[in-house]
């Protein structure tokens, strides 16, 4: 049988970083085993689901390049099917109508808690065989087995056993006429031919209930793999207050999609000592069965390292479009000025993210915004600065405009004036950038462009002599 996995987010917000990892693992598992990866939008909560959220999730998936093999399935479009299945369960006596009000249910729960028990439905309508009737409180409940236990072999957690006595008769159809999560999921997973249910840890508790529904429906039970949670740096649940949780926020912060994927694949899974995984390697080596049981913390420092790793090793031409996106966001008009790919080469050893890179690139796309007074005082207003600037200007006018020849010019100036590189590079750097920190001086000058560089030297000469 073909392996089929699915990622099933509910569109109540953006694609969460934890959701992204779940999607990645589902995608990888399907790919490795030559199967299919599907997407299902769980939008039955009409109060909280929005079209914007659906689009945001789709966009994030596309940006991460985790494409589904079939068009997404929307639960809201499958209502008739859920009804049909629920009717069948009703007809077979595997489900029944119940008419308690929400207040009654709440009271039931509180009473159980008071008795030190789990808050559960007491099964009042279980054996009453109440017929269908118009009632605002009408729900359909699943007749869960009373005895025995549900056992399943979770691919990451191992054997899980659950006493049916712990489970109550869950609502499968709400009074508003929509199916509940636990029911819709099972119907969908059966209809979609899902063979591997890979999802977050928070669903383990639902699994026994769902397995009972599979049994009631006479459908084969898929394999389950419950992924541990991703916690924040403090070991707390990831929250918007303290972390970026949306994948697209990470994009805005300048992270590369494959850096995020590489970070995520190693969070809870490993392959010996390997840290860097290409897509092909992930597909070949990943196996959900090797995923760790314990929750892990999200460490931005390591993500930073990975992001810079890819910044340094990827082809600048391939990185250029994503970088251009950041330049535009930073309000930079890149139609004039240096090629983004050249800027990447100059800055990639110095930053961890693309937006940091865009910020530093400003110096070559527009005028110097702020002069560092200390830099000017130290490197421009001294005995040799003016001479250095003059000499450099003289040679730069005619040199071939590439980093290497420019580097040659600087060496010539040093030789001619009998000065060390420090005495040459720093005044030039301040002249071009207004600060004493920048990439190597040849690149710094090169990226500025000949005309602009000469203009900045002239201005610096004024400062040096003033």
Catalytic residue IDs: 240
Smallest distance, RNA to C-beta of residue 106, A: 8
CA distances from 202 to 139, 225, 227, 399 (A): 25, 12, 9, 65
User: Alpha-carbon distance 159 to 157, whole Å?
Assistant: 7
Smallest distance, RNA to C-beta of residue 114, A: 9
Judged by beta carbon, residue 175 or residue 384, the one nearer RNA is 175
**H/E segment holding residue 350:** none
Query: How buried is residue 271: exposed, middle or buried, by Cβ count under 10 Å (0-12/13-18/19+)?
Result: middle
CB atoms within 10 A of CB 200: 16
- Binding residues for RNA restricted to 119-178, rule: CB under 7 A: 119-121, 137, 139, 157-158, 160-163, 166, 170-171, 174-176, 178
Residue showing tokens 């003033």:
466
Smallest distance, RNA to C-beta of residue 212, A: 14
Smallest distance, RNA to C-beta of residue 35, A: 23
Judged by beta carbon, residue 34 or residue 361, the one nearer RNA is 361
Residue showing tokens 């069965």:
289
Judged by beta carbon, residue 2 or residue 149, the one nearer RNA is 149
Site string for RNA, 347-386 (x = CB under 7 A): --xx------------------------------------
Among 10, 22, 144, 262, binds RNA (CB under 7 A): 10
Smallest distance, RNA to C-beta of residue 275, A: 5
Q: Binding to RNA by residue 240, rule CB under 7 A?
A: no
- Binding residues for RNA restricted to 37-96, rule: CB under 7 A: 42, 44-45, 48
CA distances from 248 to 68, 75, 253, 330 (A): 19, 25, 9, 16
User: Alpha-carbon distance 406 to 446, whole Å?
Assistant: 7
Stretch that binds RNA, among 27-35, 99-107, 214-222, 387-395 (CB under 7 A): 99-107
Q: Binding to RNA by residue 305, rule CB under 7 A?
A: yes
Among 33, 81, 109, 284, binds RNA (CB under 7 A): 109
Smallest distance, RNA to C-beta of residue 455, A: 20
CA distances from 15 to 5, 204, 248 (A): 18, 21, 8
Q: For the CA atoms of the chain, what is the radius of gyration?
A: 31
User: Alpha-carbon distance 436 to 427, whole Å?
Assistant: 8
Judged by beta carbon, residue 5 or residue 304, the one nearer RNA is 304
Judged by beta carbon, residue 70 or residue 299, the one nearer RNA is 299
Stretch that binds RNA, among 65-73, 124-132, 305-313, 450-458 (CB under 7 A): 305-313
Q: Binding to RNA by residue 421, rule CB under 7 A?
A: yes
Judged by beta carbon, residue 19 or residue 257, the one nearer RNA is 19
Stretch that binds RNA, among 80-88, 216-224, 301-309, 330-338 (CB under 7 A): 301-309
Phi, psi of 108 (to 5 degrees): -60, -45
Handedness of CA 152, 88, 174, 118 (dihedral sign): negative
Judged by beta carbon, residue 153 or residue 333, the one nearer RNA is 153
CA distances from 26 to 37, 39, 238, 260, 462 (A): 7, 10, 21, 16, 63
> Collapsing DSSP states into helix, strand and coil, what is residue 352?
coil
Smallest distance, RNA to C-beta of residue 243, A: 13
- Shortest CA distance to 276 belongs to which of 287, 266, 284, 268? 266
Stretch that binds RNA, among 79-87, 388-396, 420-428, 454-462 (CB under 7 A): 420-428
- Binding residues for RNA restricted to 328-347, rule: CB under 7 A: none
Contact 206, 105 (CB under 8 A): no
Smallest distance, RNA to C-beta of residue 335, A: 27
Contact 154, 227 (CB under 8 A): no
Smallest distance, RNA to C-beta of residue 92, A: 21
- Binding residues for RNA restricted to 173-212, rule: CB under 7 A: 174-176, 178, 180-182, 201-206
Q: Give one word for 340, left, alpha or beta, with left for phi > 0 and alpha for psi -120 to 50.
A: alpha
Among 62, 111, 151, 437, binds RNA (CB under 7 A): 437
> Collapsing DSSP states into helix, strand and coil, what is residue 58?
helix
Q: Would you mind telling me the total number of residues written for the chain in this entry?
A: 466
User: Alpha-carbon distance 340 to 357, whole Å?
Assistant: 10
> Helix crossing, 17-32 with 257-266: angle to 10°?
80
- Binding residues for RNA restricted to 266-295, rule: CB under 7 A: 266-270, 272-273, 275, 290, 292-295
- Binding residues for RNA restricted to 385-414, rule: CB under 7 A: 407
- Binding residues for RNA restricted to 216-235, rule: CB under 7 A: 229, 231, 235
Judged by beta carbon, residue 11 or residue 337, the one nearer RNA is 11
Judged by beta carbon, residue 148 or residue 331, the one nearer RNA is 148
């Amino acid at each position: 049988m073909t392996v089929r996995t699915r990622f099933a987010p509910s569109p109540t917000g953006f694609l969460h970083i934890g959701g992204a990892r779940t999607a990645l693992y589902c995608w990888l598992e399907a790919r490795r085993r030559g199967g299919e990866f599907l997407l299902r939008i769980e939008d039955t909560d009409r109060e909280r689901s929005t079209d914007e959220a659906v689009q945001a999730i789709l966009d994030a998936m596309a940006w991460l390049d985790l494409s589904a093999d079939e068009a997404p399935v929307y639960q809201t479009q499958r209502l008739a099917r859920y009804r049909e299945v629920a009717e069948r369960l009703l007809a077979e006596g595997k489900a029944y109508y119940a008419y308690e009000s929400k207040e009654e249910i709440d009271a039931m729960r509180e009473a159980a808690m008071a008795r030190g028990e789990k808050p559960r439905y007491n099964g009042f309508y279980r054996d009453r065989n109440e017929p269908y009737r118009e009632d605002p409180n009408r729900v359909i409940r699943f007749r869960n087995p009373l005895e025995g236990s549900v056992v399943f072999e979770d691919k990451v957690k191992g054997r899980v056993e659950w006493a049916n006595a712990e489970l109550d008769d869950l609502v499968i159809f709400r009074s508003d006429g929509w199916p509940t999560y636990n029911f819709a999921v099972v119907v969908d997973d059966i209809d979609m031919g899902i063979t591997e249910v890979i999802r977050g840890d928070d669903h383990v508790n639902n699994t026994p209930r769902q397995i009972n529904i599979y049994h009631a429906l006479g459908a084969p039970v898929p394999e389950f793999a419950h992924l541990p949670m991703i916690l924040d740096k403090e070991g707390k649940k990831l929250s918007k207050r303290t972390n970026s949780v949306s994948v697209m926020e990470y994009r805005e912060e300048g992270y590369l999609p494959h850096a995020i994927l590489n970070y995520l694949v190693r969070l809870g899974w490993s392959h010996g000592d390997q840290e860097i995984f290409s897509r092909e390697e992930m597909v070949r080596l990943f196996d959900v069965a090797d995923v760790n049981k314990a929750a892990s913390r999200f460490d931005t420092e390591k993500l930073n390292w990975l992001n810079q790793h890819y910044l340094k090793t990827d082809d600048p031409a391939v990185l250029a479009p994503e970088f251009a996106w950041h330049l535009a966001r930073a309000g930079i008009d890149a139609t004039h000025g240096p090629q983004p790919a050249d800027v990447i080469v100059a800055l990639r050893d110095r930053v961890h993210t693309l937006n940091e890179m865009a910020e530093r690139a400003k110096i070559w796309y527009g005028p110097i915004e702020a002069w560092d007074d200390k830099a000017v005082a130290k490197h421009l207003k001294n005995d040799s600065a003016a001479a250095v600037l003059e000499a450099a200007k003289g040679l730069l006018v005619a040199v071939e405009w590439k980093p290497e020849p420019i580097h040659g010019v600087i060496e010539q100036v040093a030789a001619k004036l009998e000065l060390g590189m420090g005495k040459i590079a720093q005044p030039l750097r301040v002249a071009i950038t207004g600060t004493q920190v920048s990439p190597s001086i040849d690149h710094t000058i090169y990226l500025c462009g000949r005309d602009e560089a000469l203009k900045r030297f002239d201005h610096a000469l004024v400062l040096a002599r003033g």
